[in-house]
Amino acid sequence: MCSSVSWSMSNLYDWLSDPREPANSPHDEALPAYLFRYLAPDGLLHTIQSRALRMNAWSQMNDPREARQWVPRGELRASGSYHTEALMLHVDSVLRRSARLLSLTEDRRPTTEESERFLFHRGWARAAMWAHYADSHRGVCLVLETAALMEAVRNMPARLGRYTTWGRVRYADVPITIGLAGSFADQSALDDALENFLDQRYTISDLHMLKNTDWSDEMEVRLATIDLSLSEIEMDKPLSFPIGACLRGVVFGDAHASPQLVASGIRSEMGTAAPEMFLCRWTDGLPNLQAFEGRPS
């Protein structure tokens, strides 16, 4: 199949390509109208074919804070026939291995007055994220409408013992601190304590919405779930939820192999629900956005 390309404009294109569009400050409480997710080509294929967004397993991340076992440092011990090793492993399973996350980013403020006329500060124009998360510019950046995304999250199938949180990640160079203490004779008693622990204000934000400052340039907005009652076979597995109406745009990377062909395939697959398609081009080191409409010929 071959495609012809015609350049077009839209309200979304105008918003994405306007350097004057103010970006929310990280100190603003409200999230912006749109958020961005960088994906490799196979991630886009999964998203379109399944009509779902995939939340990655916490333990499969490349940050040691997320990938390594969480060990409580307080007075936490097993008693009777319950062994300390089993207790520690269960705490890690509930708090870390059961967790899943959807990592997004947002626009940032221009770094200087001079840079305000360029597009470096837009969420789709992050060279480092194209390199790290979109297969060295061969992937895509999804444009997600925040309100519709939150609606899709609220429509996730209910599960007993599931905690869901979302918001901006906080960056600080501090260790993981699990404020759980006590003596437990069995897993049931430990599960009750873990539930009470997760019910405390700021517990999830301090554990699951915090990263080291080395990651701060990513300006991550995160959706996270933690499950109290996952079976061992469900641990360390991703979780997907229906995409609903939140996918508004797909920005193809500068090195994508066949954006027109893939755009045509997306439109064939999704019909009237298909998102708008854009190309990110780099000229003299500057990011530029092009809108296109691929039609089979």
Q: How much is the pLDDT for 25?
A: 52
Number of domains within the chain: 1
Q: For the chain, where are the E strands, in sequence order?
A: 3-7, 34-39, 52-57, 76-78, 100-105, 140-145, 162-168, 170-171, 182-184, 210-211, 220-227, 239-242, 247-252, 276-283, 286-296
Taking the CB of residue 146, how many other CB atoms lie within 10 A of it?
18
Q: What is the mean pLDDT of residues 67-79?
A: 89
Residue 291 confidence (pLDDT): 87
Q: In this predicted model, what pLDDT tens digit does every residue of 74-97 receive, in sequence order? A: 789 999 999 999 999 999 999 999
Q: What pLDDT shows up at residue 3?
A: 36
Structure tokens at 72: 């409580």
Cβ 57 vs Cβ 100: under 8 Å: yes
Q: Is the pLDDT of residue 7 over 50?
A: no
Report the length, in residues, of the chain. 297
pLDDT, one tens digit per residue, over 17-49 is: 999 876 555 556 788 999 999 999 999 999 999
Measured CA to CA, the distance from residue 228 to residue 162 in angstroms comes to 6
Orientation of helix 84-92 relative to helix 187-199, angle to 10°: 40
State the CB neighbour count (10 A cutoff) for residue 206.
17
Beta strand 220-227 pairing with 52-57: unpaired
Taking only the tens place, the pLDDT of each residue in 136-186 is: 999 999 999 999 999 999 988 888 899 999 999 999 999 999 989 999 999
pLDDT number for residue 178 = 92
Dump pLDDT digits (tens) for 99-148: 999 999 999 988 888 888 999 999 999 999 999 999 999 999 999 999 99
What pLDDT does residue 6 have? 38
Domain with 254 in it: 3-296
> How do residues 233-251 score in pLDDT, each as one tens digit?
999 999 999 999 999 999 9
Question: Which spans in 60-173 are helix H?
Answer: 64-67, 84-92, 127-133, 146-154
Q: Is 202 exposed, middle or buried (0-12, 13-18, 19+ CB in 10 A)?
A: exposed
CB 191 within 8 Å of CB 104: no
Give the mean pLDDT of 182-193: 94
